[in-house]
Amino acid sequence: MDIRIGDILVMKKKHPCGSDRWRVTRVGMDFKMVCLGCGHEIMTARKNAEKHIKKIEREAL
């Protein structure tokens, strides 16, 4: 998958705060993402994140 810093990932499952949207802040073997609902930051393996992505929203340049 082509995921870049600044992309918004819409996930299949919701975060406990109720939001399903995350902003990518770091890309590599791991993703660092920030919840757009509550601001919680997580790092997760690329493999785990990619199978839970429903949609990728890109920011217009």
Q: What is the pLDDT of residue 60?
A: 62
pLDDT at 1 exceeding the cut of 90:
no
Tokens 């990518």 correspond to what residue?
24
The 10s digit of each residue's pLDDT in 21-31 is 999 999 999 99
Report pTM.
Answer: 0.88
- Sheet with 53-57, side-by-side order of all strands: 41-45, 30-35, 21-27, 8-11, 53-57
The 10s digit of each residue's pLDDT in 6-61 is 999 999 999 999 999 999 999 999 999 999 999 999 999 999 999 999 999 987 65
